[in-house]
Amino acid sequence: MKKLAVWMLGLASLVAMTACNDDDRESVKVPAAVQGVFGEMYPGATHVEWSDRGGYMVADFRDGGAGMQAWFDAAGKWYMTEQDVPYAQLPEAVRTAFESGDYAAWQVDDVDKLMREGLETVYVLEVERGKEEFDLWYSADGVLLRAVPDTDGGDDREGMLPQELPQAVRDFIAGKYPGARIADAEREKGTLEVEIIDGRTPREVCFGTGDAWLWTKTEVRSSGLPAPVLAALAGSQYANWKIDDADHYDSPDGEWYLLELEDPQSEREAELRILPDGTIL
């Protein structure tokens, strides 16, 4: 009987906590400006629930049968909308790129469409194989922008809110990479890293103090490395090491290749910087 009483008390506490959480959600005061913009953008929205997340007004809702989440500031400016997308409804170019890519054998756990102010629409595929999990970012035309480990197993997109890009940065990108599309931007440790799609080539453009261009990084397949670079590697102490990753860097001071290497025997790792003419730095 005593155990039953304790169990009933716990159940009552749980119900009370749930009620409090529901009350908190319902008590969020949504400014009229936010409600107005949301209504114009999603006139068919149903099951709308609002929450305040770090000063952003976030609407969880359904529209056309899809689960969605939209982010606004208190003045009604829209920043981002995340939409659940069935794999079968992905753009054909994205499905083709995934199914012919390095992660084709991995299981697709979830797919999100990410629409953000001033940025290219991207599709994020959460894939897993055994205990490994990755987030694959694709543009709508099937360009793989990034593949990053999903270490926390979560789907919180708060860190993907768009950054406001200085006009000087936009002007530089437009001048150096005409027609490039901006896919993402992130400020970290005093630098601004901007991901662009240059034709069908993803690049990472980095800016420092005063929005000065520092470098542009472009991932390169081992088979795409210039002959002098491969010859320099073959003549070095790392000749028998495996190339884990290769990137081309372009900067105001010149160009170079950065090779990340691993010794197949000992699993030791090393980095090698090589100029396009084969000079090892």
**Structural contact between residues 67 and 74, judged by C-beta atoms closer than 8 angstroms:** no
Both 197 and 230 in one domain: the answer is yes
- Does 173 lie in the same domain as 74? no
Is there a single domain that holds both residue 119 and residue 138?
yes
> Are residues 230 and 133 located together in one domain of the fold?
no
Q: Are residues 186 and 207 in the same domain?
A: yes
Tell whether 281 is covered by a domain: no
The count of structural domains within the chain is 2
Q: From CA 216, how far away is CA 195, in angstroms rounded? A: 10
Per-residue pLDDT tens, the chain, 281 aa: give them.
Answer: 434 343 434 434 433 333 334 434 446 889 999 999 999 999 999 999 999 988 899 999 999 889 999 999 999 999 999 999 999 999 999 999 999 999 999 999 999 999 999 999 999 999 999 989 999 999 999 999 999 888 665 555 667 888 889 999 999 999 999 999 999 999 888 899 999 999 999 999 999 999 999 999 999 999 999 999 999 999 999 999 999 999 999 999 999 999 999 999 888 999 999 999 999 99
The answer to whether residues 151 and 188 belong to one domain is no
- Per-residue model confidence (pLDDT) at position 174: 97
Residue 280 placed within a domain: no
The domain boundary, picked from 142, 160, 178, lies at 160
Q: Confirm whether 199 is domain-assigned.
A: yes
Check whether residue 102 and residue 33 sit in a common domain. Answer: yes
- What are 50's two structure tokens? 């609002």
9 and 58 fall within a common domain: yes
CA atoms 98, 102, 108, 111: torsion sign = negative
SS3 content of the chain, % helix, strand, coil (to 5): 25, 40, 30
Is residue 132 located within the same domain as residue 97?
Answer: yes
Asked if residue 147 and residue 51 are part of one domain, the reply reads yes
Nearest-angstrom CA–CA distance, 36 and 171: 33
Domain range holding 270?
167-274
The CATH number of residue 238's host domain is 3.10.450.360
Is 85 contained in some domain? yes
Residue 3: predicted pLDDT: 40
Final residue of a domain: which of 144, 160, 176?
A: 160
Mark which of 129, 145, 160 sits at the end of a domain. 160
Whether residue 155 is contained in a domain is answered as yes
Same structural domain for residues 91 and 180? no
The pLDDT assigned to 157 comes to 63
Question: What pLDDT, on a 0 to 100 scale, did the predictor assign at position 162?
Answer: 86
Judgement on whether residues 218 and 130 belong to the same structural domain of the protein:
no
Q: What is the DSSP string of 51-95?
A: EEETTEEEEEEEETTEEEEEEE-TT--EEEEEEE--GGGS-HHHH
pTM exceeds 0.75, yes or no: yes
Backbone torsions φ then ψ of 136, nearest 5 degrees: -105, 125
